[in-house]
Each structure stands twice: as structure tokens, then as C-alpha cells.
A and B are shown apart, each in its own frame.
Chain A
């Protein structure tokens, strides 16, 4: 039998499923893993968004009389927060390996494809979680370490274990995990939390449902077959598309608040309004789109939502730089 998901097996491994094999097999699975496989456990694409939003939180934090956090400490904080976020991704892959194996989008991940054993992924995730939190506490401050620990717990336990398979509100509530990084970044830089990072949290929090549901609409078959109660599975396409529009409007409101409350200037106000207007327009288009155009509209909104968050958050330091 051939392993058709990787180009590895010199052994006739028959793609041992990592959660149902002997110790000898597990050992061989872990020997097959490359460093890149472990890196993939960290969900690098999600991690890049975490790094970016954390960095923005740190950049926007006031420097204070002492000139702010030292660049070496800032880099260390960024690295540790990224590793903590990645660790929660590894724990998510460990717990979700069974459903990942049945979904087209996730079946080539390291565990379901048999390149990394579940035990190795669990050990990797736990070690990185504990290590990143402890080091952040010792090297930077304990507020940011506590927030990072809570973020990891929220994603790995609250979202992955409690919410994902049990409620259609899974990614609404679970979205908080992805919204914490700018707050953690701000806390790392200042040792406190202020209004602006909380607004950044709210923007990402309300951005998550439209972003993820646009994808869920496209992958509805996979979620239905695996009994995962994503909103399109539970409430249907029409209801989900309405909720996407509703959340987009709320998100646009929060995106405008930093300027309205005086935490950002005119450039941010104009830039964020333009970006949010396009987001809401695309959500509206998805809502009214005929059946034949819905897949294209979902795909377009999903792609734009990623660009939106990057550009919106880039708008904060750009506004600070321009100073109008």
C-alpha cells in the first residue's frame, strides 16, 4: 500500500493513523517527521496574523518616560507570543486529529497524514505552551504571560474541546482567542491594558464570524459530514449570510471607534472607513447573491477579510507616522 499524502515511505507504513497504532509504529511515525512537520503543527499562517497583530499592539503602546521596552525584550516577547499561539495550534491539531482526517481542507495536516504521532504533537504543544508562558513572565512581565496563558487555554480548551463540536456559536465565542494577541502585545510593552488594545480586540472578535463563516459556507459539506455544528450546518445558508452581514456592520462600527474616541487620526478614520465599506458591501453582495454566485461571493469575502485585517491594523502605525 502506498502513502499517497507524502513522498516518504521507504517503509511500507500503510499510513498508520497515529491514534490507533502500536508503540513501535508510533515510534516510526515520529522518526518520519521532519522539522517542517513540527513547524506545520504551529499553524504558521494563523501565526503570521498573530505576529502581525501583536506587533501592532506593541508599536501602538505608549513608550513612557523610560523610552519604552528594549528592542531585544520586544523581539523576545513577540517570539514567545508567536510560539504560544503556535502551541495552541498544535494542541488543536492533537485534539481534532480525528475530524481533520475526514475533511478535505485538513487531511494533509501532519497528524492525520501519519507524519507526526498524536503523542508527539501533544508533548510538543504542552512544552511550547508552558515554555512560552514562563519565559514571557520571567523576561517581560506576568500580565502579558497571564494573558498569553489564558489565550492558549481559551483556544485549546474552551474553543477546541468545549465549543467547536457542541455549539453553532463556536467561532463567535472562540474568536476571542484570536483577538487577544494585540492586547498581549500591548501588555508586554507597557505592563497594562488600555482602551485602544481593547478596541483592537473587539475589531478582531467581530471580524472572526464573517471571516470564518465565509469559509464554512464553502466547506459546508465537510462540516455536515463530520457533525460539526458550524453556523451554515445548523442555521442554513440564508441565515448565516444574514449573520455575516450583521457582524460585518458591528465590526465596521468598532473599526471606526479608535478614530471617534481620539485614539487614531484622520488618516485612520478615512482608511478604515473605506476598508470597512468594501467589507460590508461584499457581505451584502453575499447576502443577496443568487445560488449560482454564492460560492464566488463567499470565496471573495474570505480572501478580502484577511486582506482587510492586515490593512486595517497596518493603518494604526501608518496613522501614527503620518500624524494627521
Chain B
């Protein structure tokens, strides 16, 4: 069975709210990833961070 929406679907408040919430969650996830990557990098480098050729 093939079903299609006819014409241009209207953006209801409900759908816009869902999209906003998805975008907000994605933003938090990305921010969390940045923090995690930074922390892991610092931990992995450890004291080696000061042992580099000048």
C-alpha cells in the first residue's frame, strides 16, 4: 500500500516543538561529546603534555 501526504504538509505547533526538542537534545549530546573528548585527551596525554621537544 502506498500512502502519501497530499500537497505541502503544514508545520503544526506539535511538530515544531518536537523538532526544537530534538535539536536541543542533539546540542546537549554534542556538547557532552566535546567535553568527554577533551577530558579523555587530557587523561591520555597525562604528564606527557609537558614532555615535548621545544
Contacts and interface: CB of A to CB of B under 8 A. Distances in A.
Tell whether A pairs with B.
Answer: yes
Contacts of A13: 5
Nearest to A14: B3
Interface stretch (A17-25, A40-48, A156-164): A17-25
A35 B5 contact: no
Contacts of B5: 11, 13, 22, 24-25, 28
A119 interface: no
A34 B21 contact: yes
A16 interface: yes
A33 B22 contact: yes
Interface residues on chain B, size class:
20 to 34
Nearest to B29: A35
Given A22-B4, A25-B5, A73 B43 contact: yes
A168 interface: no
Interface string B7-23: 00110111100110110
Interface in A256-273: none
A28 B9 contact: yes
Contact of B4 (A24, A34, A79): A24
B2 interface: yes
A16 B3 contact: yes
B32 to A, nearest CB: 10
Interface residues of A, number: 24
A169 to B, nearest CB: 35
A310 interface: no
B22 A21 contact: no
Given A25-B3, A25-B4, A11 B40 contact: no
A76 B43 CA distance: 11
A139 interface: yes
Nearest to B36: A76
Given A31-B19, A72-B43, A11 B25 contact: no
B13 to A, nearest CB: 8
Contacts of A21: 2-4
Contacts of A16: 3
B40 A35 contact: no
B1 interface: yes
Pick the most buried of B2, B14, B40: most chain A CB atoms within 10 A of its CB.
B40
A242 B1 CA distance: 44
A11 B22 contact: no
Given A31-B15, A31-B18, A32-B18, A70 B2 contact: no
B52 interface: no
A231 B32 CA distance: 44
A35 B2 contact: no
B3 A33 contact: no
B39 interface: yes
A11 B4 contact: no
Contacts of A73: 40, 43-44
A8 interface: yes
9 contacts: A11-B15, A21-B4, A28-B5, A34-B21, A35-B26, A72-B39, A73-B40, A73-B43, A76-B36
Interface of A: 8, 10-11, 13-14, 16-17, 20-22, 24-25, 28, 31-35, 70, 72-73, 76, 79, 139
Given A10-B12, A24-B9, 6 more contacts: A17-B1, A21-B3, A22-B3, A25-B5, A35-B22, A73-B40
